[in-house]
Structure formats: C-alpha cells, structure tokens
Amino acid sequence: MTELIRVENAALAGVPEAISFTLSGGDMMVLVTPKDEVTTSLTKIIIGLEKPPSGKVSLFSGDVASFTVRELQEARRRIGIAYGTGGLISNLKVWENLTLPLYYHQHLGHDEIEARGLALLGRLGYSGKLMDLPGHLGLSQKKLVGCARAMIIDPDVIIYESPLSGLSQEETNSFFRIAKEFHHEKPERASLFITSNLEIVRSLPEAVVVNFVKGRNS
C-alpha cells in the first residue's frame, strides 16, 4: 500500500518519547496523545505548519523539510483536516467556509459545488443557517461544518483532530458512522484520528491504535 504519512522520531513537548508512525493508503489509525495541546501540535507537524525539534516528517513519500512552498501546498490539498474547534474562518459565512477549498482549487461550476456542499451538510446533520457567521454557531455545529469542509475536497488523507470534544453521545455515534463510511468510499483513503480521549478506541475497534501516553509507542 502507498505510504501517505510517515513521522520518524519526532520529539514533541509533553510526550515522553519521540513519536514514530506510518500511515498508508487504506489505513484507519488512532493516535492517542497525553493532552489536547499535543494533539494540535502533532496535527501542525504532520501538515508542515510546525517543524519538530528533531525527527523527520514525510508526506506522500516526500520529506516535508525539503518541500518547496508550492509542493507543500500541493500536499496539503490532498489532506482534509476536521479541527477540534471547527477551524472555521471567522469572517466567512458557513457556506463560504465550506466551499472555499473547492472554489479555490477546482474548476467546478456553481451548481456542482452547491450540490456537493448541500449533500455533505445534510449527510452530517448540520441544522444551522448557511449564511451565518461561525461566531453564531455552537461548537458541535462548527465541527460539523469543519468536517464537511475537510470531506468536500475528497481527500486522500483525512485527519480528525480531537473528534469527540463538544459532541453529545448521539452526535458522536453519528459522526463515527459517517467517518467510517467516508473512509471506505475511496480506495486507498487513510483516516487518522488524533485525540487525547481514549474513549475513541471503543468506537473504532477496526482502527490501529498508537498510544503516545505510556511513554512508548504502543
């Protein structure tokens, strides 16, 4: 299987030992971190927004440290990130947030973008207004829109950062069902769940779990 993300001996503040893992096409993996700050930091390191003090990060078989700005942008376009807080842009309305990556990266007509966006929001159960600014939404609604934005680009890798925070039990169940469906919709798609909440392991029995809490990659 194609190697999509490889992290080798990356030192991270708050983690006892250096982090190593490999995510290949078709993998479903859970990374358990000691706390939410580490989750955020690890997500940034994976997509090249932060550089680890030591170690190496590879995306799609290329060393992130040696990427040009354009190569890094190309790599990021293949990764969808559902942020723990939604990660929405505050001055864009819900609809603009959702469709921004499609309008920016793809030559698609308004009708097709509209159909894709509405279908995804409906599937995720978003019940808010499309023309609201993110400031007017609750955390779970923000997360749904952020998740839809990550999915709308049909990514090769989807990263779910702190997926359980702010969701009710019902929303959590629905979220995992959709995440699993989405994972299987595209062959070779990898799903990476990064969280400090071990509860996730019960909801994803089929996923490979890498626990960074115990002081060793287990």
Residues that bind other proteins (CB under 8 A): 44, 47, 49, 69, 73-77, 79, 81, 83, 87-91, 96, 100-101, 103-108, 149
**Least Å distance between CB 108 and other proteins?**
8
Q: Least distance (Å) from other proteins to the CB of residue 45? A: 12
C-beta pairs of 12-19 under 8 Å, 24+ apart in sequence: 12/38, 12/41, 12/42, 12/45, 12/52, 13/38, 13/41, 14/38, 14/41, 15/212, 16/212, 16/215, 16/216, 17/212, 17/215, 17/216, 17/217, 18/54, 18/55, 19/55, 19/212, 19/217
Nearest to other proteins of 107, 202 (CB atom)? 107
Give the residues across from 8 on adjacent strands.
56
Q: Pairing relation of β-strands 3-10 and 19-24?
A: antiparallel
3-state secondary structure of 123: helix
Nearest CB to other proteins, comparing residues 83 and 203: 83
Instruction: Using the minimum distance from each CB to other proteins, give the nearer residue, 149 or 189.
Output: 149
Residue 66 or 90: the one with the smaller Cβ distance to other proteins is 90
Whole-number minimum distance, CB 73 to other proteins, in Å? 5
Q: How far is the CB of 33 from other proteins (least distance, A)?
A: 18
Smallest distance, Å, CB 32 to other proteins? 22
Nearer to other proteins (CB atom), residue 1 or residue 49: 49
